[in-house]
Amino acid sequence: MSPPESPAGRSAGGRVALVGAGPGDPGLLTARALALIAEADVILHDRLIPAEALSGARADAELLFVGKEGGGASVPQEQTETLMIDRALTGAHVVRLKGGDPFVFGRGGEEARVLRDAGIPFEVVPGITAGIAAPAYAGIPVTHRDHASAVALVTGHSRADGEESDAGIDWAGLAAFPGTLVFYMGVRQLEHIARSLIAAGRSPQEPAAVVERGTLADQREVVATLATIAERAREENVRPPSVTVVGSVAALGSELAWRPAAPLSGLTVAVTRARAQASALAGRLRALGAEVVEAPAIRTEPLEVTLPDLAGYDLVCFTSPTAVSLLWDRLADAGLDTRALADARIAAIGPGTARALEGHGVIADVVPERFVAEGLVEALGGQTVRRALVVRPREARDVLPDALRERGATVDVLALYATVAEPLPADVQQAVSASDYVTFTSSSTVRFFLEAIGGPGALAAGTRSASIGPATSETLREHGLTPDVEAERHDIDGLIEALVADADARART
């Protein structure tokens, strides 16, 4: 009998990896986790994985959310297990991606047993668990020679029906435990946990700490005593995901704190650029403490074009990293490589485009100080150009080709892709409308974003627009939205610098 096949024609022989994604900081993803994500055919993921964890997945990978929205509906565990088995039986390489560690309150043991019983090969990739990492990022060592030589990891989850459940929890044993107690998923049950420990003999004066959103840029901590920690957490409106530390080590956080304050902490920033380019900007904003709303208002579509004879040009200008990538795809399709550009000077608008060229072994001859078409015109100065090729999107301005033609050059434009609208779901539109900042990295993001939300009037009165440069700012004005922030350097670094400076200035007023 022939083995079952997937729609893509893969034969049976699939496998599953139960992978821990760590506690939230993408820098804590293991090298093995990243490698498996990059090669996976299917990724079944939870809500608490790092936002950037999926950015390394293949473009054709099947990404399925199988987690639980905090306090809301969840995908049944049986359905998740069925998906793993069904996909593996088609021959797929499946990654079951979980926040933290799959074998620490992650139901990884249950899933491993199901896979074994189904005859599916699997591996387990441990992840850094929140009960260790979150306290560490708060300056709290869960063990310390002078304070605690043991640590107990305890689930603080209540029953699904919302009632308190002590099933499996030995409060007397925990109260007498000679070391640190770390409770996962117990922020909603914190009062019950504290009351039960005290009733079983734990000192009400023992230090306790709650760490919210551990290892993320907007992490925060509440420190009190066991008797008062629930009240303090309620006063500070502590929300899941959080872990609670009980023990004398909880008092060490103020002494051993090591993370600097995040400059964008407490602010929400919407990113409107295309999904393929958004993750890098979103990741950097999150690292600075921002809550990021990814609202890709545009996407790029490659165009069917005929590649010209590149040997006839003495200047080739690239206007974006996407233009670089797509030209090399066309070269490969034609059986060519970088040598096809050997006779031309290479110009790039912006460092991102220059870096994309470097990735193909090409060092740009001209990179303007101002990362706009006008800057490249200035940078070319009095250089003689006989025949130029401008590689760009279809919708780009004609400033560069027109300026070169005025200097007597013959100019061809190679439009390799089109920028088209990407519909925004209603929940994303709502989140963007309430953001502190909305970032715009091109004129097309302005046009399509405002079209998607119904115009500038859909934004909250306090929402500030942040523009990458003068051309984008002009488009904002044309569409009735005044740019509140404009980058001095017209690239992503400049946009981030301008955001941080504006947030700092507003915090001082």
Fold of 132-256: 3.30.950
Average pLDDT over residues 227-243: 95
Question: What percentage of residues in the chain have a pLDDT greater than 70?
Answer: 94
Mean pLDDT score of the chain: 89
Q: What local confidence, expressed as pLDDT, does residue 136 receive?
A: 98
pLDDT band per the 50, 70, 90 thresholds, residue 381? confident
Establish whether domains 268-297+422-508 and 301-420 are of one fold: yes
Average pLDDT over residues 376-394: 86
Q: What local confidence, expressed as pLDDT, does residue 73 receive?
A: 61
Q: What local confidence, expressed as pLDDT, does residue 12 receive?
A: 56
Question: What percentage of residues in the chain have a pLDDT greater than 90?
Answer: 66
Question: What is the 8-class DSSP label of residue 186?
Answer: -
CA distance 429 to 235: 31
CA distance 214 to 241: 8
CATH number of the domain at 301-420, please? 3.40.50.10090
Q: What local confidence, expressed as pLDDT, does residue 384 receive?
A: 83
pLDDT tens for 248-275 read 999 999 999 998 888 998 899 999 988 7
- Where are the domains positioned within the chain? 15-128, 132-256, 268-297+422-508, 301-420
Looking at domain 15-128, its CATH superfamily turns out to be: Tetrapyrrole methylase, N-terminal domain (3.40.1010.10)
CA distance 178 to 320: 60
Q: What local confidence, expressed as pLDDT, does residue 378 receive?
A: 80
pLDDT tens for 495-506 read 999 999 999 999
Residue with tokens 């929400």: 268
CA atoms within 13 A on the CB side of 486: 13
Task: Out of 3.40.50.2300, 3.90.870.10, 3.40.50.10090, 1.10.443.10, select the CATH number for domain 268-297+422-508.
Answer: 3.40.50.10090
CA distance 188 to 334: 61
pLDDT at 68 over 80: no
Query: Poorest-confidence range of 2-11, 27-36, 395-404?
Result: 2-11
As given in the structure block, the two tokens for residue 342 are: 């050997």
Helices (H), 21-94: 31-39, 77-89
Question: What is the 8-class DSSP label of residue 251?
Answer: G
Instruction: Check residues 399 and 480 and name the one with the higher pLDDT.
Output: 480
Q: What local confidence, expressed as pLDDT, does residue 13 receive?
A: 77
Instruction: Check residues 7 and 52 and name the one with the higher pLDDT.
Output: 52
Average pLDDT over residues 480-503: 93
CA distance 139 to 254: 7
Q: Which of 406, 407, 403 is nearest to 377 (CA)?
A: 403
Q: What local confidence, expressed as pLDDT, does residue 245 receive?
A: 98
CA distance 341 to 331: 10
Q: What local confidence, expressed as pLDDT, does residue 323 receive?
A: 94
Contact 85, 120 (CB under 8 A): yes
Average pLDDT over residues 459-469: 93
Query: Poorest-confidence range of 276-285, 310-319, 337-346?
Result: 276-285
Q: What local confidence, expressed as pLDDT, does residue 236 receive?
A: 95
pLDDT band per the 50, 70, 90 thresholds, residue 427? confident
pLDDT band per the 50, 70, 90 thresholds, residue 106? very high
CA dihedral 188, 240, 215, 25 (to 10 degrees): 140
Q: What local confidence, expressed as pLDDT, does residue 71 receive?
A: 52
CA distance 257 to 277: 34
Q: Known catalytic residues?
A: 46, 68
Q: What local confidence, expressed as pLDDT, does residue 156 receive?
A: 81
Q: What local confidence, expressed as pLDDT, does residue 166 receive?
A: 57
Instruction: Check residues 375 and 245 and name the one with the higher pLDDT.
Output: 245
